[in-house]
């Protein structure tokens, strides 16, 4: 429907459905899509994620800028109008022309990630804005035709392959359904000439997660699947990360993706896997990714926590608050101790370079892993994850919510008959008392030797009914968390 000014009329919201995502029932045969998590991923423990797209151009708000700018009472809208012009004339599609990546070098990125200690890289191939960062035959709105002028995903994949780093692609395009809705009926998202960039007009509520008031039509679902199949055909990633809200796709569509990807990997002799959120896929077809999650206990099934180096955004913004290296390291140790992997998002600027603050934090993480990586890579959880008084919220989304760990907080990992105790702080007394490892405690074996990673000299220790007491070295071997290597 058209207004007399040629702009599409915004559909009205229908009544909400009664069924919620948590009510999802699976009725199809998923036996052909059952898949175990590859050993390489369980051993990797630490990966780097990046979000890079036109939403990085303003360096403002967050990676949801493309959506928030169309809400007239949002700060992103005010910023956009003041810096670029009204959303009726200068929309998100116009920002793409400023997304040029003139200093992008995929080999430099992979070298940086490897120095940081990452064992796999996850490239955001398409975010909710619908802009594909590869040379797509499915989506004309892609980085070869608009903005960059090159295939960024192929470049990163090739660089990762040269460095023997596992490559993954993330897809967030389930969110594209209803993403470009506006409270301004004259916004360019409702102009009939712009449907390639923004899609068909939908009710404002169709952009919500829980629940959308309408579900995607066949055309959208076909396109969602076709993009994923193209990612598989062109790149065959070692791992595909799927963002939330995939439950809005029909079960047939989700199953077809799972079988297509996993069969392609099997035929190529590749150990591949995909992750999903919540109840979006049948359990056992992939593994669960939890955004910004601090688990309370060891999880029976392998899982992944993904979090971002800038507290406020997954895309680069110039005014963000950075997660410091000690927090990243603490989250890595905590996650691994609970049977998980840690995926840290570090996003480049629009020109393809990283800012100095990010580089400094990544350098510190890399230096820590050079000393303490033995306790992380290829490790497994102990019978208990650790001990200590500090307990984080389930999801920590701002620095103000984060509770610093103390010298009483410890996280355990183990491998090859060796137990590692990662001390989150350094006791003033110079003696670390580990209550879990008291005589007759969780450790049944007789301790032969204790050293500290980065030092190597045998440490004096005693064990009584209260704790294992270890005299620490005179000098700290690294800046942050410190690892006791306990051999039997």
Last residue of a domain, one of 375, 409, 431: 375
- Please indicate, yes or no, whether residues 371 and 400 belong to a single structural domain of this protein: no
Contacts of 400 (CB under 8 A, 6+ apart): none
Last residue of a domain, one of 319, 345, 375: 375
- Residue 349 DSSP code: P
- Please indicate, yes or no, whether residues 253 and 141 belong to a single structural domain of this protein: yes
7 within domain boundaries:
no
- Please indicate, yes or no, whether residues 436 and 342 belong to a single structural domain of this protein: no
Measured between its terminal Cα atoms, the distance across the chain in Å is 75
81, 332 contact by CB (below 8 A): no
pLDDT (tens digit, 9 = 90+) per residue, 380-412? 999 999 999 999 999 999 999 999 999 999 999
Record the tokens describing residue 325, joined without a space: 């290296």
Q: Which helix (H) or strand (E) holds 49?
A: strand 46-50
Digits of tens for pLDDT over the chain (488 positions)? 333 334 444 444 444 554 555 556 899 999 999 999 999 999 999 999 999 999 999 999 999 999 999 999 999 999 999 999 999 999 999 999 999 999 999 999 999 999 999 999 999 999 999 999 999 999 999 999 999 999 999 999 999 999 999 999 999 999 999 999 999 999 999 998 999 999 998 887 787 777 666 889 999 999 999 999 999 999 999 999 999 999 999 999 999 999 999 999 999 999 999 999 999 999 999 999 999 999 999 999 999 999 999 999 999 999 999 999 999 999 999 999 999 999 999 999 999 999 999 999 999 999 999 999 999 999 999 999 999 999 999 999 999 999 999 999 999 999 999 999 999 999 999 999 999 999 999 998 999 999 999 999 999 999 999 999 999 999 999 999 999 999 99
Pairing status of strand 418-423 against strand 431-434: unpaired
Phi, psi of 189 (to 5 degrees): -65, -20
315, 52 contact by CB (below 8 A): yes
Range of the domain at 401: 396-487
- Please indicate, yes or no, whether residues 124 and 245 belong to a single structural domain of this protein: yes
- Please indicate, yes or no, whether residues 415 and 350 belong to a single structural domain of this protein: no
Work out the angle at residue 50's Cα, subtended by the Cα atoms of residues 48 and 51, and round it to the nearest 5 degrees: 160
| pLDDT of res. 207 | 78
- Please indicate, yes or no, whether residues 320 and 408 belong to a single structural domain of this protein: no
In which region does residue 217 sit, left (phi positive, over 0), alpha (psi from -120 to 50) or beta (all else)? beta
> For residues 189 and 182, what is the distance between their CA atoms, to the nearest angstrom?
7
150 within domain boundaries:
yes
Q: Which residue from 91, 28, 29 is spatially nearest to 58, judged by alpha carbons?
A: 91
143 within domain boundaries:
yes
Structurally, how many domains does the chain consist of? Answer: 2
Q: Which residue from 423, 479, 488 is spatially nearest to 450, judged by alpha carbons?
A: 488
367 within domain boundaries:
yes
Burial of 210 (0-12, 13-18, 19+ CB in 10 A): exposed
| DSSP bridge pairs for 450 | 486
| pLDDT of res. 8 | 45
- Please indicate, yes or no, whether residues 328 and 262 belong to a single structural domain of this protein: yes
Q: Which residue from 207, 211, 214 is spatially nearest to 181, judged by alpha carbons?
A: 207
18 within domain boundaries:
no
387 within domain boundaries:
no
407, 482 contact by CB (below 8 A): no
Helix (H, G, I), strand (E, B) or coil at 273: strand
| pLDDT of res. 24 | 66
358 alpha-carbon distance from chain centroid: 16
- Please indicate, yes or no, whether residues 42 and 179 belong to a single structural domain of this protein: yes
| pLDDT of res. 47 | 99
Last residue of a domain, one of 344, 375, 406: 375
Q: What is the CATH number of the domain that holds 61?
A: 3.20.20.80
20 within domain boundaries:
no
Instruction: List, edge to edge, every strand of the sheet that includes 482-487.
Output: 386-387, 410-415, 418-423, 482-487, 449-452
- Please indicate, yes or no, whether residues 328 and 420 belong to a single structural domain of this protein: no
Q: What is the CATH number of the domain that holds 407?
A: 2.60.40.1180
388 within domain boundaries:
no
């Amino acid at each position: 429907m058209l207004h007399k000014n040629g702009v599409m009329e915004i559909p009205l919201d229908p009544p909400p459905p009664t069924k919620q995502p948590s009510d999802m029932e699976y009725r199809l045969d998923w036996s052909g899509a059952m898949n175990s998590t590859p050993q390489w991923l369980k051993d990797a423990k630490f990966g780097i994620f990046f979000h890079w797209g036109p939403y990085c151009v303003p360096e403002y708000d967050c990676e949801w800028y493309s959506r928030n700018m169309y809400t007239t009472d949002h700060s992103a809208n005010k910023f956009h109008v003041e810096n670029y012009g009204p959303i009726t004339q200068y929309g998100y599609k116009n920002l793409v022309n400023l997304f040029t990546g003139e200093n992008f070098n995929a080999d430099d990125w992979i070298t940086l990630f490897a120095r940081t200690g990452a064992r796999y890289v996850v490239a955001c191939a398409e975010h909710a804005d619908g802009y594909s960062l590869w040379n797509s035959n499915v989506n004309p709105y892609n980085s070869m035709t608009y903005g960059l002028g090159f295939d960024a995903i192929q470049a990163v994949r090739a660089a990762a392959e040269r460095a023997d780093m596992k490559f993954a692609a993330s897809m967030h395009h389930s969110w594209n359904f209803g993403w470009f809705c506006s409270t301004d009926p004259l916004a360019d998202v409702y102009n009939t000439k712009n449907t390639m960039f923004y899609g068909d007009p939908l009710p404002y509520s169709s952009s919500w997660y829980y629940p959308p008031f309408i579900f995607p039509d066949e055309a959208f679902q076909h396109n969602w699947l076709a993009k994923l199949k193209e990612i598989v055909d062109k790149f065959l990633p070692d791992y595909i990360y799927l963002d939330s809200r995939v439950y809005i796709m029909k079960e047939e569509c989700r199953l077809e993706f799972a079988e297509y990807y996993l069969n392609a990997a099997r035929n190529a002799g590749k150990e591949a896997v995909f992750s999903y959120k919540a109840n979006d896929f049948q359990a056992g077809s992939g593994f669960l990714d939890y955004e910004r999650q601090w688990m309370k206990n060891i999880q029976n099934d392998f899982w992944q926590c993904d979090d971002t180096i800038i507290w406020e955004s997954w895309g680069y913004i110039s005014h963000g608050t950075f997660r410091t290296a000690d927090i990243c390291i603490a989250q890595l140790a905590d996650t691994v101790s609970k049977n998980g992997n840690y995926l840290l998002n570090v996003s480049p600027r629009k020109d393809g370079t990283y800012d100095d603050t990010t580089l400094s934090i990544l350098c510190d993480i890399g230096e820590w892993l050079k000393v303490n990586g033995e306790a992380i890579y290829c490790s497994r959880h102990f019978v208990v994850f650790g001990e200590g008084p500090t307990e984080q919220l389930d999801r920590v989304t701002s620095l103000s919510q984060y509770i610093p760990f103390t010298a009483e907080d410890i996280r355990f990992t183990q491998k090859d008959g060796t137990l590692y105790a990662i001390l989150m702080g350094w006791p003033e007394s110079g003696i670390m008392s580990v209550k879990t490892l008291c005589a007759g405690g969780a450790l049944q074996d007789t301790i032969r030797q204790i050293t500290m990673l980065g030092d190597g000299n045998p440490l004096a220790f005693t064990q009584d009914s209260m704790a294992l007491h270890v005299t620490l070295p005179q000098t700290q071997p690294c800046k942050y968390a410190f690892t006791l290597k306990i051999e039997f």
